[in-house]
Chain A
Amino acid sequence: DAGVIQSPRHEVTEMGQEVTLRCKPISGHDYLFWYRQTMMRGLELLIYFNNNVPIDDSGMPEDRFSAKMPNASFSTLKIQPSEPRDSAVYFCASSFTSTGNQETQYFGPGTRLLVL
C-alpha cells in the first residue's frame, strides 16, 4: 500500500492568497483526519470525516478554513485568505473501522505551509 498521500509537500504563498492542501487516504479506510502542527500549539485536530461526511469540525480555527471530502479517495483543506499565522505543517491521517472500533491512525508525510 502506498500509504496516505499528501500534496504538495511544501507550499510557500503570500498573505491573502488561497491555499489548497490535498490528501488521498489509504484505500479502504473510512475515517479521514486533518491535523495541524506548530511549535507553539503542538498537534491539533482540525476536522475529521467518516464515510466522506464531516463529523467534527470544532477544531477548525476560523471561517477562513474549509475542508471537503467529495469521495472516499480524496479530501481537501482550503485556506482563504491565508495569513502568516497559518504557517504550520498540516497532516492528513486515515483509519478504518473494525468490529465497531477505529483505532490506529496512519499519517501522511505532511504539507509544510509558509505564508509570507
Chain B
Amino acid sequence: GNSVTQMEGPVTLSEEAFLTINCTYTATGYPSLFWYVQYPGEGLQLLLKATKADDKGSNKGFEATYRKETTSFHLEKGSVQVSDSAVYFCALNPGGGADGLTFGKGTHLIIQP
C-alpha cells in the first residue's frame, strides 16, 4: 500500500538556521507529492507540491524536489523565521485520478528567536 514516512519531531532551530525535514514515500505508480503546513488551531494549508519526478516545488522560501530514485521529497528552507513554527505534513496522492491523500505523521517545527 501507500505510505509516507517523515522525521519525528519536535525539531527546534534558531532563527535564520537552515531547515531540512526528511520525507520518504512508498507508492505504486506515479504519485504526486505535497507538503502541507498546519498552524496552531487551524486547518492544513498547501505549502508546495510536485507532480512528477525531478519537479521542484517552492513557496515562501521553502523548496522540495521530487526524487524518484530515492523515493524522497525533503523539505528545505535556507533561513527560517519564528513565524515558520508549525506542524509540517508530507503527503502523497497515488495519481491516475482522484484519491484521498496519504499523510505522514507530521513534524512539529519550533523556531526560537
Contacts and interface: CB of A to CB of B under 8 A. Distances in A.
Interface of A: 4, 31, 33, 35, 42-43, 45, 48, 50, 55-56, 59, 91, 93, 95, 97, 100-110
Contact of B105 (A42, A48, A97, A102): A42
Determine chain A's interface SS by DSSP, over half rule. Answer: strand
A65 B30 CA distance: 32
Which of B32, B49, B51, B98 has the most chain A CB within a 10 Å cutoff?
A: B98
Contact of A42 (B34, B49, B103): B103
B100 A59 contact: yes
A35 B72 CA distance: 24
Interface string B41-65: 0111110010100000000000000
Which of A59, A95, A105 has the most chain B CB within a 10 Å cutoff?
A: A105
Contact of B45 (A45, A107, A110): A107
A105 B43 contact: no
A42 B89 CA distance: 10
Given A56-B100, A106-B46, A110-B43, 15 more contacts: A42-B106, A43-B89, A43-B103, A48-B98, A56-B99, A59-B100, A97-B98, A101-B97, A102-B97, A103-B49, A103-B93, A105-B101, A107-B36, A107-B44, A109-B43
Contact of B43 (A33, A95, A97, A107): A107
B53 to A, nearest CB: 16
Contacts of B93: 103
Contact of B98 (A4, A42, A59, A102): A102
Query: Which 5 A-B pairs give the minimum distances between C-beta atoms?
Result: A45-B100, A107-B43, A43-B103, A107-B44, A102-B98
B43 A42 contact: no
Contacts of B45: 107
Contact of B32 (A35, A42, A55, A103): A103
